[in-house]
Structure 1
Amino acid sequence: MKKRKIPMRRDLLSGEMFPKKTLVRIVRQADQTVAIDPTGKAQGRGAYVALDPAAVKQAQGKHVIEKAFDVKVDPSFYDELFAYVDHQKARQELFGDKA
């Protein structure tokens, strides 16, 4: 059986490469808003974030997402992103690679 290639993406917060399935995509949409893209297929400029809630909190202080997308990010987005990453990390720990 032929071995499949695993797509790798760079984590915006740490700069490390991870398999695409283990990351969360965030996207800057055409109306200059930033949103979480759980499907990974939304139109717009995308970036990937690892499932590390501590890194999300640190990114809020350093304004990493604002610098990457060159837009003003509402502080409530960081709260939403933290909750989403925390939830996805818990799912991954419970169910393994299926989540």
Structure 2
Amino acid sequence: MIFLKKRKIPMRKDLLTNTMQPKKELVRVVIDKEKNISVDPTGKKPGRGAYVSLDPEKIEAAKEKGVLERSLGTKVPAEFYDELYSYVDHQKARKELFGDK
């Protein structure tokens, strides 16, 4: 009988729901030393990172509550929220189309 070793799933805390979730179900938002805020699909960009869920409604709530501002310690421009919303919306649509990989 062959036993396969169960792989550890990396977990991260979702800023919006305050719960631990698998890393691949979240998207990383990163702020670098020059205070540039960007979406980090690879999860490897240098800088302070914060994880948010791939749920467009949660992004709207985060914008209203200022969750990212508190976590990243700087003002987040409205244009960035639009970029984040479209990225999350696109990823959610992909997941629905192609399933979980």
TM-score range, shorter chain: over 0.9
Is the aligned partner of 1:43 residue 2:30? no
Name the TM-score, length of structure 2 as normaliser.
Answer: 0.93
- Distance in 2 (CA, whole Å) between partners of 1:91 and 1:80 is 17
Preserved contact between residue 33 and residue 73 of structure 1 (Cα < 8 Å) = no
Preserved contact between residue 24 and residue 48 of structure 1 (Cα < 8 Å) = yes
RMSD: 0.7
Partner of 1:61: 64
* SS of alignment partner, residue 55 of structure 1: helix
Partner of 1:74: 77
- Distance in 2 (CA, whole Å) between partners of 1:40 and 1:6 is 15
Moved beyond 4 Å, runs of 4+: none
Partner of 1:7: 10
* SS of alignment partner, residue 86 of structure 1: helix
Structure 1 runs not aligned, ≥5 long: none
| Structure with the greater alpha carbon radius of gyration | 2
Is the aligned partner of 1:30 residue 2:59? no
Kindly state the Cα deviation for residue 96 of structure 1 after the two structures are TM-superposed.
1.3
% identity of equivalent residues? 59
- Code of the residue aligned with 1:92 in structure 2: it is K
Partner of 1:93: 96
Kindly state the Cα deviation for residue 34 of structure 1 after the two structures are TM-superposed.
1.1
